[in-house]
Chain A
Amino acid sequence: MSRRRSPEPLVWLLFSGGGMAAALLVPVLLFLFGLAFPLGWLPTPDHAHLLALVEHPVTKLVLFGLSVLALFHWAHRFRYTLYDGLKLKAASTLIAVVCYGAAAAGSVVAGTVLLLA
């Protein structure tokens, strides 16, 4: 096979999955925890209830998945913003390492926070 092996399909899948997950879940979370609960539009669940919810393994898995995908979505988009917007394609390897590295580091932080919760 003459095709050049490239990690692009993998990072694009993370990018597109991240865009989809963030678009579906983040507005709902922002609406609930940023507007509806603080402003009293909806009955606010008490702390013990929320803590129990977050401590459930399924919730942790969903939140972890959302964090990882959203971070890689950012990394991919920011990488191309630097490439094309600022015309920095000459430093492409460095940019890719910094962007995806930051997303990977953020994923580790998110995982640690969720595991300790």
Chain B
Amino acid sequence: MARKRTTITMEVTRFRPGEDSEPTLQSYEVPLRKEWAVLDGLNHIKDHLDGTLSYRWSCRMGICGSCGMTVNGKPQLSCATFLVDYAPGPVRVEPLRNFPVIRDLVVDISDFMTKLPKVKPWLIHEGETPEGEFLQTPQEMDEYKKYSMCINCMLCYSACPVYALEPEFLGPAAIALGQRYNLDSRDDGDRRDVLASAEGVWACTFVGECSTACPKGVDPAGAIQRYKLTAAVAALKDFLLPRGARR
């Protein structure tokens, strides 16, 4: 019987802007264990093989959204992607696509951080605030719950071909989060000027890769298409109805 493989090769992107002319792949041999995620492999490299490797991580359980990377060409959370699924290897680990690289696997997310507050991702309430809790039925919560699961990991931006071509595009996660508050029964906010702009939902061509990449089942593509209908109906109303009858 052939001896079971006990290690796997990880090919990891190394890059220091300003020092290296271009990113290179460096190979490391790490233990192949059933319970080890790609992130455990990276931690093994950092702790035992090469302390100069840089990458982001925090919670190790798919909540913090820090450890998004390109694993064998696909955007993945490295804590939720297991080495055994890539055996016998090698498994290639690269930084998230569509973002500038700061070092090795660490990307610059400031573009997303600038766009996110533009959709006003918080409850905007008009009128009196109720005393005590603001009640909501389970049906009202179901309307937006899916979109509230976003962990801002940016795998959807990495997967989106429109964002790759048009960096101005507001992007899947930001629009889905705007929709999360639009669909909340406690919210009266108006996000139309941002969401219904040329850089908002109308830039999306419904490729759908964002929803495939999302590790939390948010379905940003669905959120965008739903908002397109809302925005198109509102635009028709603007065109057809007198000013007083709108809304």
Using a CB–CB cutoff of 8 Å, the interface residues on chain A facing chain B are 1-4, 6, 8-10, 12-13, 16, 80, 84, 87, 89
Contact = CB atoms under 8 A, between A and B. Distances in A.
Contacts of B234: 9
20 contacts: A1-B193, A3-B192, A3-B197, A4-B197, A6-B202, A8-B198, A8-B202, A9-B196, A9-B231, A9-B235, A10-B232, A10-B235, A10-B236, A12-B202, A12-B228, A12-B232, A13-B232, A16-B228, A80-B205, A84-B205
Nearest to B196: A3
A90 to B, nearest CB: 13
Contacts of B231: 9
Nearest to A3: B193
Interface string B162-205: 10010000000000000000000000000011001110001001
Please classify the interface of chain B as helix (H, G, I), strand (E, B), loop, or mixed, using the class held by over half of its residues: helix
A9 B162 contact: no
Interface in B193-243: 193, 196-198, 202, 205, 228-229, 231-232, 234-236
Interface residues of B, number: 17
B77 to A, nearest CB: 27
B23 interface: no
A13 B192 CA distance: 17
Interface of B: 161-162, 165, 192-193, 196-198, 202, 205, 228-229, 231-232, 234-236
A82 to B, nearest CB: 12
B140 to A, nearest CB: 27
Contacts of A89: 165
Contacts of B196: 3, 9
Given A12-B202, A16-B229, 14 more contacts: A2-B193, A3-B197, A4-B197, A4-B198, A6-B198, A8-B198, A8-B202, A9-B231, A9-B232, A12-B232, A13-B232, A80-B205, A84-B161, A84-B165
A1 B234 CA distance: 14
A3 B196 CA distance: 9
Nearest to A14: B232
Residue in B161, B232, B234 whose Cβ sees the most chain A Cβ within 10 Å:
B232
A107 to B, nearest CB: 20
A89 B165 CA distance: 10
A87 B202 contact: no
Contacts of B236: 9-10, 13
Contact of B162 (A1, A8, A84): A84
Contacts of B235: 9-10
B3 to A, nearest CB: 49
